[in-house]
Structure 1
Amino acid sequence: MKLKKLYPELVSGIIDQGFDKEPKEIQTDCIPKIKSGADLLVIAPEGSGKTTTIVIGVIQQLKEAFEEAPRAIVLVGNKEKAFELEEQFELLGKHTNLRTFTVFDQGNLQYQKDTIYEGLDILIGTPKRINELLSNTGIPCTKLKLLVVDDAETIFPNRHHPVVYRISDGSIKIQCLLFANKWHEKFDDLTKRIEKNWVLINTDC
C-alpha cells in the first residue's frame, strides 16, 4: 500500500493515527485491489487489520461527501462492532467531509430512517436492522457503490445472508467486499449466487 497513491485527505488521517509506519499484509494485499474496483472475498484471522483495511478502502473509493443517498453500506455482526467501525471512520476520515451513521436492532427505526434521509455517505449496521430499513423504504439505494460485509463467517451461518443478496441484486455495478476471520462453506453459495469475478485473498494459510 503506497500512501502517495491514496486520496490526500485519507493519507493525512492515516499518518495522524500512525498507520503509515508498516502496513499490514492484508492492507498491502487488499487496498490496491479495492482501489481498482475488484470484488473481494478476504479471509484473515482476528487482529490482522481487517477493520482498518475496510475503513481505508471505503474512504479511498468515496473520497468526499456527495448528494444525500448513501454510497456505501457496511454490514457487521453486532452493535458493538458497528460503533467500533464508526469510530475508525471518524478517525481516519477526519480530514474528509464523509458522513457516517450507524443503525442497530434495538434503535428507534423511525429516527434511524429520518437520519438516513437527511443525507450521509456511509451507512454501518447490523443485517437485521438494515433489512428492516430496506423493507420500510428507509434506505435510498440509487447512489450505492459499495457493499461491505465484515464478520461474514457469522452473518452467513446465522441466516442473515439474504440481505447481502438483496442489496447486491439491486445494482449490477455495486462493488462487493466481504471479510471473514475464517472460511465458511456458505461462501461457496455466495460466489455462485452473486455472479462476479471474485478475488480471493486468504492470509490465514
Structure 2
Amino acid sequence: MSFTVFQFHPQIQKALDTSGYASPTPIQAQSIPPVLAGRDLLGLAQTGTGKTAAFVLPLLQRLHTGPKGKVRALIIAPTRELAEQTHSYIIKMAEHTHLRSMVVYGGVSKQSQINAIRKGAEIIVACPGRLLDLVNTKIINLSTVEMLILDEADHMFDHGFLPDIRRILSKVPRQRQTLVFSATMPKEIRSLAEDILTNPATVQIDHTKPTASISHSFYQVEQRNKTNLLQKILLQKEITTAIVFTKTKHKAKSLAYQLQKTGCRATSLQGNLSQQKRQLALEGFKSGTYNVLVATDIAARGIDVSGISHVINFDMPSTAETYTHRTGRTGRASCSGEAYTFATPDDNKMTRALERSLGKKLVYKKESGLKEKMQFSGDRREHQPSAGISKKVSLTAGTRKFPRSQTVA
C-alpha cells in the first residue's frame, strides 16, 4: 500500500516523498480514511507505530483549503517534549503548504509565544496549562477550532489533566471533529475519551500486545537492593542506550544522581526540571553524552530516540498496558531490544497481569548470575565486591511466592 492511495494534495505528497515515506503503517492506513471523511476517531496503538502521522497528514489535507490566519486545529499533548515533537513533524509535512503551526507550553517565555500567536497560525500544539492561561487572557481564541486532537490521552486523563481538558472543551465549538490517540487505554479512561467523541471510528493495532522483537527478562529483588542490581546490569550487560523507569519524580532524580556517582553517563527527565534542563537532558541522551536516561512515565512521553537497546523497569508499572508502552521504546522499526523488570514480593498482582499479557509464565533470572558490583574510577573499572547483595533463585512454573534470599558475605 502506498501513501498515494489517500490522494493527498501534491504539496503534502511532496513532503512525504522528500522524507522517504512510501508506505503507511497499520495505524496510519486504518486511521487516515475515516479522519479524511470527517469522522471522530479513537486510535489505540503502541509507541513507535506512527500515530503522529496518522492525525497530522489528514489534518493538513483538511485544512489545506479554507481560511488562513485563524486557529483551525488544536492538538493537546501531556508533555512539552511531545508537543515539540508533534510541532516539528507538522513543520516538516507542511513545508510546501501555506499552513502555519506554533507550539505553546509553560516553562518558557510567555511573551515570545504571544508574539508568535499574533503573527497568525492555523494549528496550535499545546500543553493544557499554558494554553488555558493564554485563552483566559484572550490571547488565543479557540472559537474557530474545527479539529481537536488529544494525543497520549491516557496520560492526560490519568495525571490530573482532566479538569483542564474539560475547561478547554468548553472553549471550542461543539460542532468539531475530535480525534483521541493513545498508546494505552484502560477501560475507565476509555469511557472518559468516549464522552467527548461522537460516533467515533475505533482503530486498535495490538495496543496491549508487547512488540515481538523485544526479549523480556525479570529479576526478583528486594526493594533495598534495586540500585545495586541496576548498577551491576548497566556495567556488565551490552547496553548502548537505556531508559530506566521509576514511579516518582524524586526517585528519578536521586537514582540518576546515584548512577552518576559511580561514573555512569546518566541523566534524569522528570517534571521538576526547568524546560532548559529538560531540553539539555533529552538532547544529551540523543547525542550520546548520556547513555542512560532515568525517567517517569509521563516525562518519557514524546521521547523520540531511535536505537534504544534496553528498557529497565526499576519500578514495576501500574498496568500491563503501561508495561507494553514502556518496553515499546526499544525494539522499534523491527530492531531487536531487551526489557528488564525488577519485581519485589509486593508486585505479585502485577506479575500475574504481565503473565496474562505476555501469554506465558514469567521466568526470573538469578541475581547471582551477575558478578559482584564494580564501580568506575575515571575510565577504569575497579572490582569491588558488594556486601549485602541477595542471591536469588528463579521462579519455577506455577510458583507465586518469592523464595527466601541468601546473603552473600
Flag the structure with higher helix content.
1
Tell me the secondary structure at the aligned position of residue 49 of structure 2: coil
How far apart are the structure 2 equivalents of 1:42 and 1:156? 15
Letter in 2 for 1:202: Q
Q: How many residues align?
A: 203
Residue in structure 1 matched with residue 127 of structure 2 by the alignment: 126
SS of residue paired to 1:156: helix
What is the letter of the counterpart of residue 198 of structure 1? P
**Secondary structure in 2 matching 1:144:** coil
TM-score (norm 2): 0.47
Separation in 1 of the partners of 2:66 and 2:16?
Answer: 19
Tell me the residue number matched to 1:204: 206
Give the secondary-structure state (helix, strand or coil) at the position aligned to 2:84. Answer: helix
What residue is the counterpart of 1:186 in the other structure? 189
Q: Distance in 1 between matches of 2:129 and 2:97?
A: 29
Identity of aligned residues (%): 25
How far 1:158 moved relative to its partner?
1.2
C-alpha distance in structure 1 between counterparts of 2:82 and 2:192, whole Å:
25
Deviations 1:23-48 (A, max 9, x none): 11111101111100110111100011
Please report how far the alpha carbon of residue 110 of structure 1 lies from its aligned counterpart in structure 2 after TM superposition: 3.5
Matches within 5 A, 1:44-193: 44-63=45-64, 66-169=67-170, 170-184=172-186, 185-192=188-195
**For residue 181 of structure 2, what is the amino acid of its counterpart?**
F
Deviation at 1:195, TM superposition (A): 5.5
CA shift, 1:57, in A, is 2.1
- CA offset at residue 199 of structure 1? 1.7
Worse overlay, 79-88 or 25-34: 79-88
Contact 2:178–2:197 (CA under 8 A) maintained in structure 1: no
Aligned CA RMSD, in angstroms, stands at 1.9
Q: Per chain length, whose mean CA-contact separation is higher, i.e. which structure has more relative contact order (CA < 8 Å, sep 6+)?
A: 1
Structure 1 portions without partners, runs of 5+: none
Distance in 1 (alpha carbons) for counterparts of 2:146 and 2:34: 15
CA distance 1:64–1:95, change in 2 (3 Å): farther
Native 8 Å contact 2:12 2:94 kept in 1: yes
Give the deviation of 1:168 after TM superposition: 3.4
Q: For structure 1, which segment, 113-122 or 38-47, has the greater mean C-alpha deviation from structure 2 after superposition? A: 113-122
Task: Give the equivalent residue in structure 2 for 1:23.
Answer: 24
SS in 2 for 1:155: helix
Deviates more, 1:76-85 or 1:112-121: 112-121
Residues 72 and 186 from structure 1, CA distance in 2 versus in 1: closer, same or farther, beyond 3 angstroms? same
Q: Which has the higher strand share?
A: 2
Residue 8 of structure 2 corresponds to: 6
Q: Using the alignment, how far apart are the partners of 2:177 and 2:129 within structure 1?
A: 21
> Is the Cα–Cα contact under 8 Å of residues 151 and 182 in structure 2 kept in the other structure?
yes
1:64 and 1:166 map into 2 onto residues whose CA distance is 29
1:39 partner letter = D
Report if aligned partners of 1:68, 1:117 keep a CA contact under 8 Å in 2: no
Q: Secondary structure at the residue paired with 2:158?
A: coil
- Larger Cα Rg: Structure 1 or Structure 2? 2
Mark the CA change 1:202 to 1:63 in structure 2 (over 3 Å): closer, same or farther: same
Amino acid at match of 2:73: A
Contact 1:69 1:117 in 2 (8 A): no
Segment drifting more, 86-95 vs 110-119:
110-119
Q: Which runs of 4+ in 1 moved over 4 A?
A: none
Deviations 1:23-81, CA, capped at 9 Å, x for gaps: 11111101111100110111100011011222212111111573322111111121111
CA distance in 2, matches of 1:196, 1:62: 21
Deviation per CA, 1:99-139: give whole Å up to 9, x if none: 11111111222432342132101101112111222222121
- AA matched with 2:194: T
Are the equivalent residues in 1 in contact too, given 2:45–2:183 (CA < 8 A)? yes
Unmatched 5+ stretches in structure 2: 208-409
- Structure 1-normalised TM-score? 0.90
> Which deviates further from its counterpart, 62-71 or 126-135?
62-71
* CA deviation string 1:130-162 (max 9, x = no partner): 122222212112321111111111111112123
- For 2:144 and 2:97, locate their aligned partners in 1 and report how far apart those are by CA, in whole Å: 19
Q: Which letter does structure 2 place at the counterpart of 1:173?
A: Q
